[in-house]
Chain A
Amino acid sequence: MHYLVGEAMTGGYGDADILHECTIGVDEGEIAVVVGPNGAGKSTAMKAVFGMLGLRSGRVMMDGEDITALKPQERVRKGMGFVPQTNNVFPSLTVLENLEMGAFVRADDFSNTLSQVFELFPVLKEKAVQPAGELSGGQRQQVAVGRALMTQPKVLMLDEPTAGVSPIVMDELFDRIIEVARTGIAVLMVEQNAKQALHIADKGFVLVQGRNKYTDTGKALLADNDVRKAFLGG
């Protein structure tokens, strides 16, 4: 049983189901990656786990508790951090203010978390007083991840964090994500760059048409010939 798991999730927008008995999950300190072709329902599965999509059947469990009925905001309070794929910063707010908004629900002193985030993403400290909308794509993603970390989540969910950034920036982002996982946070992410993502993944879920096709460790999936041929370009 995983720390966070969406079990046998079936559902979609409107009448047509996108997910069929789909299961994804992650444990503390681990990185789990969801990959698959376009339209496989990767992001939908992520949204379902976060509660942005109603499920017809299946359930979402976190730390042994059934959270299927909770709204996204309530899940945030339970310790889930979510970084959407787009529009994931407050563009006219400064970097520092973005991070402060991440800690909006916290009543305690969050200066420790803030310095941890600055340690993880030093560039954010440099640009602390600059509006987030003026940053480069890679830096904006760091703001977005940093904002989600400000609640001190137990689970961090990332929807294609490397979409639209250069390969160098991507590698750096992945390094940071590994560091995040080392602090004991469970990281669940959807990735388009399957090969690179599986390299850093403890666990991989390959989805096809809303169903689990392969599930294994990242290494095993990379080594699997079928997977390589079908999804990783040989």
Chain B
Amino acid sequence: MLPQSTHLSSEKKRIYVLFGIMAVLFVIVGQVQSWNLSLAILNLCLISAIMTLGANIQWGYAGIVNFGIMGFAALGGLAGVLVSMPPVQAGWQAGGMSLLGGAVIIVLTSVLSVFVWGRIKHITHWRYWIMTAVILAGYLVMRAIVDPAVEVIESIESAKAGHIGGLNLPILVSWVVGGIFAAGAAYVIGRISLGLRSDYLAIATLGISEIVIYVLKNEDWLARGVKNVNGLPRPVPYEIDLQAEQWVINLASRLDTDVPEMSSIIVKLSYAGLFTIVLLILFWLFETALRSPWGRMMRAIRDNEVAANAMGKHVTAKHLQVFVLGSAVVGLAGAMLTTLDGQFTPASYLPLRFTFLIWIMVIVGGSGNNFGSILGGFVIWFFWIESEPLGLWLMDVLTAPLSETSALRGHLLASAAHMRLMTMGLIMLLMLRFAPQGLIPETKR
């Protein structure tokens, strides 16, 4: 254990105070608006905090600029569908083999192109054309095999299925699988792009995450694309079942709420419990990692890449570890989100919400500090949701002197809903300027 210095205890005090304020805010929302809403916000705060932890070990520990958080979250969400939905047998029978064939062709093409590249990379003139030809040929063969199968699969009961379905396993399994999906993607992406300078890496990861979303939106055979997959199984009981339970009815009457409300609160609390367990485990793991020699080395690399390189540390290899680890955590959180929503909606993945908002959480919370990440996830998500009613209330007060029918007042009130983007931007800019260390700064060890 570390010695208790005054500096550390002041940090502790700061953590207690800030999380205390956060708790009070949830109570206020519970009392003023509703407990259902308060818990709904809490659940998403928990998921945001986990995503932020993942992004934080990349940026805060290692200084890697990952603008592809959205893509990893979506891959985690996809895992939710592929793990938990019942398989569409007809689809598998009609097109399963072809899909596998297509996958084999993709792998073969990749291997072949790497092999060919090794042979021809010294030829100056034609190498790019030869590579293009190899990849194009592989692509066309793949399309020829897969296209008919895709057509068949997508035509099977297209109103509710039209995809290959999943493995019919408990959805909690998808949390692990989502992490693995994201880790696998991160490994490939990291291998090819971690050598880039930070702004190119940012642009590259943003581009890759957009491509992931494009594929999920358009490949209907996989997870129905923009038609969405609804009705994912749940890890917690359904409200309708709870409402029939005697203890729920008793509890509702004792707490003076109606039964549907009570059942909904119980469901949300169950989710909150599950999420909290995951958050605590990850937090413990990350804190241990941060204090370990591995964590010290990571920060040494971040603070002086040149020196670390000179000392013979394999900077790129270490960066790859962190990139994969952080992305896996984001993928896990993505699967949790799909579980909470009970549906997978590719069109809802927007970079503002899933990449840049998470970055704001990291910055505001305090990059490099795990407490900070959790707090950042909580604070920013809370205000992301609450800035709408707050903005509306603020506008109402500010424009009160204007007459009820004033066009300006009407416009301002209508626009208040869009305040949150600007609020987030201003919060981020002010933090970067006046408190670049964040709410809970990184502890110097």
A and B touch in the complex (CB under 8 A): no
